Amino acid sequence: MNRLVVFILIYLSSVTIVGASDTDSTFYTNHIFDQRIKTVQLYKDGWNLSYPIIKLNSNEKLVLNFDLLGDQPETYYYTFIHCDKDWNKSDIFPNDYMTGYTENPIEDYENSFNTTVSYIHYKLSFPNDRVSLKLSGNYILLIYPSDKLEEPAITQRFIVTEDAAKIEITAHRPQMTKDNNTHQQVDFVVNYSGLSINDPYRDVFAFILQNGRWDNAKRNLKSDFYGNNELKYNSLSDKNIFRGGNEYRYFDIKSIRYKSEYVKRIDYAIPNYNIYLYPSDNREFKPYFYWKDFNGKYYIAFQEGQKPDIESDYVYVYFTLPSDQMISGGKMYISGSLNNWVFDKNNLMAYNSERKEYECTMLLKQGWYNYEYVFRKDVETNGTATLFEGSHYETENDYIVLIYYRNPRDRFDRVIGSVIANTLNHLSN
């Protein structure tokens, strides 16, 4: 049985791709299945803090970077899976949405240079001369070892948009009194003139993402008013209201020779560097203060070298969050793109009753990082950064609006419009 037949059989049954039942739910998310893989970033070519959204039939490309810890390179392949608006596999075949080869090797990789932790850095740019995409929509980029498609190593979400619909967006303080000091409301108008849509209320769906996150996205929104080829979303309910949050905490570990603002101590204990951050303060009841952040993302950089992708070292970073007592009913985490916005053992904080503080150690590549503390209640699916962080309507955030359209005659969802807006330019009282 050749590799293409194997791919089609696996594609038709997504459960068999992942195998173990405890990972089925993570396959269509941003997920790292191999714990040896670190620092996975997917962004638009030219700006590594951008969101993974490109326009169909354009010259725009996405770039994937990741590291495999160790000194022996392995062969990885990649393919794409088209998904519906809710991140379920679309009912179409690969040749419906891909042109070229359905699976391709990642050929751009090199070993780290002069680092205490050895790794191989992999890089992939697409679309490319081997494969391109024919349809708009939600996509999963699947990375897997050679001849092991049933054992995924990485899955990453990205969006291909047609930008056929025009979107005007406004962010402002909520009109609901109880939330007007801590939350932000996102209103927008979609103009779909030029598109043939018979029943926009039934067939068009809107999604809102805060800072590119899917865990707290507003999904499948219906317009409050429609007519004259316009859909208006300005509800008085909470369906388009987000917690404003706070500006992200940050630390700079570009250098292992010099301490930056929030670095207390740098130690070298064979074979690794250890970086101790100053204990964090409690910001829950402090007034809002603006500083420029990356909205939860991180930037790989190495102050003493020219090639940060392969010269940046991996170091152990020690976080401490003072607390007079352990908070019952949940667990404390360090959250952000540094851990792919997930909550697992890698970013779980342990409470030290003697020192009266939460503690966590993470292995991170040198660079500039954003993060926040999230207390995740035992009954919650997603965590909320309220304890120790606070929330303000003034907080600078990015909001992404995605407009999906399902033609009743089609078997897939199109992305007909997208827009990214920042509250510094759009926030009004």
Residue-wise pLDDT tens digits, 258-308: 999 899 999 999 999 999 999 999 999 999 999 999 999 999 999 988 999
Q: How far is CA 154 from CA 35, 299, 400, in A?
A: 10, 20, 24
Residue-wise pLDDT tens digits, 79-108: 999 999 999 999 999 999 999 999 999 999
Domains recognised in the chain with CATH numbers: 3-161 (2.60.40.10), 166-245+394-428 (2.60.40), 249-377 (2.60.40)
Beta-carbon neighbour count of residue 328 at 10 Å?
6
The DSSP H or E segment spanning 426 is: helix 423-426
Tokens of 238: 């909470």
pLDDT at 133: 98
Taking alpha carbons only, the member of 9, 63, 76, 64 closest to residue 36 is 76
What SS3 state is found at 335?
strand
348: which strand partners? 333
pLDDT at 24: 54
Residue-wise pLDDT tens digits, 22-64: 345 789 999 999 999 999 999 999 999 999 999 999 999 999 9
* pTM, entire model: 0.92
Residue-wise pLDDT tens digits, 318-356: 999 999 999 999 999 999 999 999 999 999 999 999 999
Q: How far is CA 222 from CA 14, 55, 163, 308, 378, in A?
A: 29, 24, 19, 45, 31
End-to-end CA distance of the chain: 63
